[in-house]
A = this chain, B = another copy of it.
């Protein structure tokens, strides 16, 4: 391997320490420093991983020519400003989800990265878990057949975030995973979002997203900060098999059910006669073995590989934009009392990125 790359972490709040620890532990990276306006907080993170430089001044990081890349784990509304500054300083960027607080700002970030020939990676961490990597592989191998529906539930008693509602806080996980595993990515043209703020906090604390898929399918997401029980489950139904991912069951996270409804289709038949040809399959269940591995280690390795190979990361800025497009349409739908709203597709120049 060539020499190691050098990174700095911006933001020492909830997620920054995990990024710092993984850069530090990676064979691909040197960790040059941690930046946080609260320098004492940065110092605590530094101490916990054996000591690296800390600073409260982003300029210190950006002016350091030995730093190849920055990881941005600041509040969402600052991503745009910090990322553009870093890209303009010639740094590759990985940015926590959501990539930006508006789709327009996300587009600007992606454009800037392309113009400067730098990698802009979305830290869609879940996509690098053994479970999601296996799900993507199973779908690629057509184990499930054509995808009929996706139902995702992510509920828990959660912190009511000061700056984002439950859609922007939690749904990026579900949406980025769908974008990663579905054959055509997160290719939805409209979304209906139903939000609820029953405690009058000023933002939705309960949210539902319904998105039609091709050929009559549907994707649905339920996110909730007010549930006393914790559920993290995604069901992906296919024509051949159906997969259930229960992330809170470490003994059997992913189950593939050879159960379902079969349709003996014949030419010229009507929907009624189709119904008559339905039969049920009650086959075996199979749960693939999954390694226990920290996803973030794979994230920082992929970031290094994308930089070295001059290619987009597997979870690229464009992937981040597709998530933002759905979130922005969801916000519009909430404002329209749940009426479906179109999801903007990427402009051609961006799609080529």
Chain B residues with Cβ under 8 A from A1's Cβ?
none
Chain B residues with Cβ under 8 A from A203's Cβ?
271, 275
A65 to chain B minimum Cβ distance, whole angstroms, is 27
A282 to chain B minimum Cβ distance, whole angstroms, is 5
Closest B residue to A337 by CB, please name it.
B340
A3 within 8 A of B: no
A28 to chain B minimum Cβ distance, whole angstroms, is 18
A184 within 8 A of B: no
CA distance A198 to B148 in the complex (A): 5
- Mask, A51-70, CB within 8 Å of B = 1, is 10000000000000000000
Query: Is B199 in contact with A218, judged by CB distance below 8 angstroms?
Result: no
Closest B residue to A194 by CB, please name it.
B210
Q: What are 14 A-B pairs at a CB distance below 8 A?
A: A47-B50, A194-B210, A194-B212, A198-B215, A198-B237, A199-B216, A202-B274, A208-B220, A212-B337, A258-B289, A282-B291, A286-B286, A337-B340, A339-B339
6 further A-B pairs in the complex, CB-CB below 8 A; given A151-B222, A202-B272, A228-B257: A200-B263, A208-B220, A228-B235, A258-B289, A284-B287, A337-B340
